[in-house]
């Protein structure tokens, strides 16, 4: 009986891990979209009204952060 309860607990934990990994993948996709430098530049152009909010070095940093976030992968 004890082995059976441990087996059920293991299944529950594996399911929770799977669900968290799915959430992480969704968050990675959202971050990739939201932090896309091209998208940010378009938003900046749309809302800044000729005011330079970001300079080129800041955009390069955003590009670097985006490449870092997309290179992070979690093992299943």
Please tell me whether the overall predicted TM-score, pTM, comes out greater than 0.75 for this model.
Answer: no
pLDDT above 50 (res 12): yes
| The pLDDT of residue 9 | 96
> Measured between alpha carbons, how far apart are the two ends of the chain, in Å?
30
CB atoms inside a 10 Å sphere around CB 66: 20
- The predicted-structure confidence for 45-60, as pLDDT tens digits, reads as follows 888 776 655 666 666 7
In the chain, % of residues over pLDDT 90: 41
């Amino acid at each position: 009986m004890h082995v059976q309860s441990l087996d059920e607990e293991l299944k529950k934990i594996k399911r929770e891990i799977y669900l968290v990994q799915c959430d992480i993948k969704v968050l990675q996709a959202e971050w990739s979209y939201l932090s896309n430098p091209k998208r940010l530049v378009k938003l900046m152009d749309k809302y800044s009204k000729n005011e330079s909010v970001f300079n080129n070095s800041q955009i390069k940093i955003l590009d670097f952060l985006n490449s870092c976030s997309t290179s992070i992968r979690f093992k299943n």
